[in-house]
């Protein structure tokens, strides 16, 4: 059974002139980390809302085509069950905090309370998640007094504490510095390693290149490419969608353009280093021979 199957899906928000999703056909497998990229307003968050069932359960509008989530038609899902099965965090950390808890500890426990988790389990899970996120120092602070970045971590911790099978994550690092962003991506990778299916929207393309298994590229409501990360990053779809490539990929293309291609298209720093090292070694041998 797949995570999601979308066939020719078009969605127009009520009172909107243009569809936010148009003719989207996608097949998402389970146990994978999907990265979704696209410029502002290209429909990434709308796709998240759809996968999370907020469309059509919460957002009004016209939905055409068929959507299956975990083998069941989206319309047949019970909204409450969907909220338990698919965890989601949206990007604005100022609205992702409940606003009714006055310690981070209780904030993270809130979702567990609502799931009826026993108190001792709750304490364990809050402790382990906050250690994982590196926010144990915040546990006694008031979540409503935290900075945007800290709130973002708390909101993310609150959702992963709930341990749902699927995670839909919309720009989890928008307020974070590079180091924290990297840490969040490692946690996401770890969740995937533990069998979760993840859909992740993110603008930081270098991190996407390093961590995502597959990429979905969006442009004005359409999915212009879907496939293995390296392959998609190298494809012209990225230019078509106006999404920047990782620096190293651009570098490789630039070298290729002047006839000095690396023989491969690296998407991560490590791949690039390997390719360049090989080249350098080659050059070295060549130079030795000349000498």
Interface with ligand ATP (CB under 6 A): 13, 16, 20, 38, 40-46, 59
41 binds, among other proteins, Mg ion, ligand ATP, none (CB under 5 to 8 A by kind): ligand ATP
Query: Is residue 47 a contact point for other proteins (CB under 8 A)?
Result: no
The Cα–Cα gap between 216 and 228 comes to 9
CA 116 → CA 96, 100, 109, 112, 248, distances in Å? 21, 18, 11, 6, 48
* Tokens 């998407």 found at: 267
155 binds, among ligand ATP, other proteins, Mg ion, none (CB under 5 to 8 A by kind): other proteins
280 binds, among other proteins, ligand ATP, Mg ion, none (CB under 5 to 8 A by kind): none
Q: How far is the CB of 119 from ligand ATP (least distance, A)?
A: 37
Q: How far is CA 171 from the centre of its chain?
A: 7
46 binds, among other proteins, ligand ATP, Mg ion, none (CB under 5 to 8 A by kind): ligand ATP
Query: Is residue 156 a contact point for other proteins (CB under 8 A)?
Result: no
Q: How far is the CB of 117 from ligand ATP (least distance, A)?
A: 31
Cis preceding-peptide flag for 100 (omega within 30 of 0): no
Give the one residue of 118, 179, 195, 289 binding other proteins; rule: CB under 8 A.
118
Query: Is residue 57 a contact point for other proteins (CB under 8 A)?
Result: yes
Site string for Mg ion, 10-49 (x = CB under 5 A): -----------------------------------x----
The Cα–Cα gap between 151 and 94 comes to 7
Q: Is 85 exposed, middle or buried (0-12, 13-18, 19+ CB in 10 A)?
A: middle
Contacts of residue 192, defined as CB under 8 A and 6 or more positions apart, other chains included, come to 31, 32, 33, 198, 213
Q: Which residue is nearest to ligand ATP (CB)?
A: 45
Query: Is residue 84 a contact point for other proteins (CB under 8 A)?
Result: yes
Contacts of residue 253, defined as CB under 8 A and 6 or more positions apart, other chains included, come to 245, 265
Query: Is residue 75 a contact point for other proteins (CB under 8 A)?
Result: yes
Give the one residue of 3, 117, 133, 198 binding other proteins; rule: CB under 8 A.
117
* Tokens 């298994």 found at: 213
The edge-to-edge listing of strands for the beta sheet with 197-201 is 86-89, 166-170, 197-201, 33-38, 214-219, 222-228
62 binds, among ligand ATP, Mg ion, other proteins, none (CB under 5 to 8 A by kind): other proteins
The shares of helix, strand and coil residues in the chain, as percent rounded to the nearest 5, are 45, 20, 35
Of the CA atoms within 13 Å of residue 20, those in its CB half-sphere come to: 22
Residues interacting with other proteins, by CB under 8 A? Answer: 13-15, 52, 54, 56-64, 74-76, 78-80, 83-84, 87-90, 92, 94-100, 102-103, 105-106, 109-119, 122-123, 126-127, 139-140, 142, 144, 155, 158-159, 162
Residues interacting with Mg ion, by CB under 5 A? Answer: 45
């Amino acid at each position: 059974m797949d995570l999601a199957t979308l066939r020719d899906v078009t969605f127009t928000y009520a009172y909107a002139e243009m569809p936010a999703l148009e003719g989207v056909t996608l097949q998402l497998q389970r146990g994978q980390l999907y990265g979704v990229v696209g410029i502002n307003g290209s429909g990434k968050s709308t796709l998240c809302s759809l996968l999370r069932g907020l469309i059509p359960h919460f957002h009004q509008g016209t939905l055409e085509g068929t959507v299956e989530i975990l083998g069941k038609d989206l319309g047949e899902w019970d909204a409450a069950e969907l909220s338990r099965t698919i965890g989601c965090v949206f990007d604005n950390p100022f609205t992702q905090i409940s606003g009714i808890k006055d310690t981070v500890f209780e904030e993270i426990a809130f979702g567990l309370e609502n799931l009826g988790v026993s108190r001792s389990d709750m304490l364990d899970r809050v402790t382990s998640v906050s250690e994982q996120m590196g926010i144990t120092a915040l546990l006694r602070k008031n979540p409503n007094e935290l900075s945007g970045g800290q709130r973002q971590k708390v909101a993310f911790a609150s959702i992963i504490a709930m341990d749902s099978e699927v995670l839909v994550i919309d720009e989890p690092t928008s307020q974070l510095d590079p180091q924290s962003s990297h840490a969040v991506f490692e946690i996401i990778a770890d969740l995937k390693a533990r069998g979760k299916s993840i859909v992740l929207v993110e603008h930081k393309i270098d991190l996407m290149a390093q961590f995502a298994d597959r990429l979905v590229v969006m442009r004005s409501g359409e999915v212009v490419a879907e496939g293995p990360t390296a392959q998609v990053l190298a494809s012209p779809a990225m230019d078509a969608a106006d999404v920047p490539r990782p620096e190293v990929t651009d570098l490789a293309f630039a070298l290729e353009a002047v006839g000095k291609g690396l023989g491969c298209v690296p998407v991560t720093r490590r791949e690039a280093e390997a390719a360049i090292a090989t080249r350098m070694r080659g050059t070295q041998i060549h130079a030795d021979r000349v000498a």
